[in-house]
Amino acid sequence: MELSDAQLKRMARAHPDLQKIIKRAAEITSVPFTILQADRTLAQQKANVAKGVSWTMRSRHLIGADGMVYAVDIAPLVGGKVSWSWPLYYKLAPIIKQAALDVGIPVEWGGDWKKNKDGPHWQLP
């Protein structure tokens, strides 16, 4: 799978290690996916917390002092459209984890969290 220019642009502020993982995942995936978002403004994060779609103001999506973010949200595609179906996230997760192993960079998946599971969320530890 090839990442589009638009997808790469969405990931532009992601830490280079995170970009390596996602780019490798695109090379090896059997589950097509898209990049939903990497960076968020403080205002966007506050709105997400208010809506209940995020649970913290310490999100790794927030742009750090170094100008980078340490999280990216990706979603599987079905027929070219984003799917929110958990079985597809469970199918995609081992691919992203394998990509991280391939490039030698640790990664954490929001779907492995004990509470507030977040299927699209991937972050550097």
Average pLDDT, rounded, for the chain: 93
Pick the residue with more confidence: 40 or 36? 36
Q: Cα–Cα distances in Å, from 113 out to 57, 109, 118? A: 17, 7, 8
Which pLDDT tens digit goes with each residue over 46-79? 887 788 777 777 788 888 889 999 999 999 999 9
The pLDDT score that the predictor gives to residue 61 is 83
pTM: 0.90
* Tokens matching residue 5: 């220019």
Q: What are phi and psi of 83, to 5 degrees?
A: -115, 140
The CATH class of the 5-123 domain is alpha beta
User: What is the torsional sign of CA 10, 14, 19, 25?
Assistant: negative
The pLDDT score that the predictor gives to residue 106 is 98
Which pLDDT tens digit goes with each residue over 82-92? 999 999 999 99
